[in-house]
Structure 1
Amino acid sequence: MASPVSQASLGSGNVDEKKRKRMISNRESARRSRMRKQQQVEDLAKEASQLEAGNNLIMKTIEAAKEMYTSIASKNDVLRAQVKELTYGLNSLDSLNSVLSMPEDSLNSVLSMPQDSVEPFLSMPEEWLNSVLSTPQDSVNPVLSMPPDSVNPVLSFDPPEFGIPDIYMEPWQFPCPMQPIKASDNMLQLIRRFFYGTMFSLVEFNSFV
């Protein structure tokens, strides 16, 4: 029969063994927990580096897009300026063509005009000049749209075989005294329109040459 001392020592030995096993288990659990946390930290650091690399790539793409936009905008401005120059050149060529298509006598008479008579018209506002040039011819002078028979009844007159009045035989002789007739606004506007259009075309022709 075992003595009480041996039983007490055996019981304390079992308790110590359990404590040792529990300590070893706790240490292993703590080690595994530290390893898991370290792995999580490493994974998060790797993900952060990947996100940072992606962010840098996006920033580079944005900068490249900004540079491309700036380049395209400057090229677009150059193209707009070229379009304006080509439009002005085309208008100048149209004006030159209209001048060259004029009868030779009218062109020579306009070219022979003194410079002093042209300068007052060059200083006129362009908007007013364009409004005059764009006025329809029929509204400028309704007489131009009338048939010749209505304009001059003499043109449609069929003289009889005999007894032609002296007024038709000698049209320069007037049966009544001549009275000065004031020019209408339509007639003045027609004259100005022809003169201004000719002067404007000649100025563009001289600048083109």
Structure 2
Amino acid sequence: MSSPVARPTSSSSESGSQQVPVDQRKRRRMESNRESAKRSRMRKQQRLDELVHEMARLKEENARVAAQIETCAQQFAGLDTENAVLTAQVVELTARLRSLNSVLRFVEEFSGMALDIPEIPDPLLRPWQLPCPSQPIMASADMLQC
């Protein structure tokens, strides 16, 4: 018993001639796809390399900025401490001056001598009016850089 076999309606010479260009087109397309994929992989690798270099550069810059911040923080802490000491000294000296002025007023009352006792400004409320001799404040931009 033989089963019927489906055969192409075109002749074998016709299918063979059409097969060759299709195979060549397939091969060219596959080769083109391979080249395109290779270029794509190269671009991806190049981009990855660029990103790795940028990451390393940014890490270095971050470390440098962190060191500058630490230096500034240490300088700030030192200046803050110095400011606290100076503020305490101002308070103490103001209290001493008030005490001396009260003694002078006492002497003035009992001696009858007129003494010129200036009023003491409150240095914490009006620091711009401190009774200090005018001295230039020396500063430079280097002092502010960390």
Q: TM-score scaled to structure 1, two decimals?
A: 0.38
Q: Secondary structure at the match of 1:77?
A: helix
> What amino acid sits opposite 2:83 in the alignment?
N
State how far apart, in whole Å, the 2-side matches of 1:30 and 1:56 are.
39
Match of 1:103 among 106, 111, 130: 111
Match of 2:51 among 40, 44, 52: 44
Displacement of 1:33 after TM fit? 1.0
Number of matched residues? 101
> What amino acid sits opposite 1:65 in the alignment?
C
> What amino acid sits opposite 2:75 in the alignment?
M
Give the number of the structure with larger relative contact order, counting CA–CA contacts within 8 Å between residues 6 or more apart: 1
What residue in structure 2 maps to residue 91 of structure 1? Answer: 98
What residue in structure 2 maps to residue 24 of structure 1? Answer: 31
What residue in structure 2 maps to residue 59 of structure 1? Answer: 66
> What amino acid sits opposite 1:28 in the alignment?
E
State how far apart, in whole Å, the 2-side matches of 1:33 and 1:61 are.
42
Match of 2:84 among 74, 77, 91: 77
For structure 1, which runs of at least 5 residues remain unmatched after alignment?
Answer: 105-209
State how far apart, in whole Å, the 2-side matches of 1:10 and 1:47 are.
56
> What amino acid sits opposite 2:34 in the alignment?
R
Computing the radius of gyration from Cα coordinates, the structure with the larger value is: 1
Residue identity (%): 40
Displacement of 1:28 after TM fit? 0.7
State how far apart, in whole Å, the 2-side matches of 1:5 and 1:84 are.
114
Match of 1:33 among 40, 50, 54: 40
Displacement of 1:6 after TM fit? 8.9
Displacement of 1:93 after TM fit? 2.1
Aligned CA RMSD, in angstroms, stands at: 3.3
Query: Higher helix share goes to which structure?
Result: 1
Describe the superposition over 1:49-77 as per-residue Cα deviations: whole angstroms up to 9, x where unpaired.
34333433442343233223211210111
Displacement of 1:32 after TM fit? 0.7
